[in-house]
Amino acid sequence: MASEIAHRLKGKHKPNYAPHQDLGDHIVVVNAAKCASPRQAHGQVLSPAHGYVGNLKSISLGKLLQEHPERAIQFAVKGMLPKGPLGRRMYKKLHVFGGKDHPHQAQQPKALEI
């Protein structure tokens, strides 16, 4: 799912794609808490880089899905986007919500089946 989201954020699905331009769409992800299976959530350990030298903070995927379900998708997608100013601009177009309610109904989002 994260690879398809990154693909859409980059704009690779469009015929006028260019790697140096930001042509991607805004993506709204709902029900992020249901993204991983229980077996997958039990085994994986995530280690987000925090920028400081020394102790590395790590958290299991199961615990992350319980506390902040949207961050698991954000970490996965951010790693697949280009590094630098262009990737940061693409990442700002990602909106992830743990439940089914979101404040973007006025923009009339279209459902994307993955």
Phi first, then psi, for residue 46 (nearest 5°) are -100, 140
Residue boundaries of the structural domains of the chain: 2-103
Does 3.20.20.70 match the CATH number of domain 2-103? no
Distances (CA, A) of 107 to 26, 39, 110: 10, 36, 9
Integer Cα distance of 114 and 1 in angstroms: 7
pLDDT digits (tens, 9 = 90+) for 21-41: 999 999 999 988 787 666 666
Distances (CA, A) of 92 to 52, 56, 96: 23, 26, 11
Rounded to two decimals, the pTM is 0.81
pLDDT digits (tens, 9 = 90+) for 59-78: 788 788 888 888 888 988 99
> Residue 48 belongs to what H/E stretch?
none
pLDDT of 48 reads 67
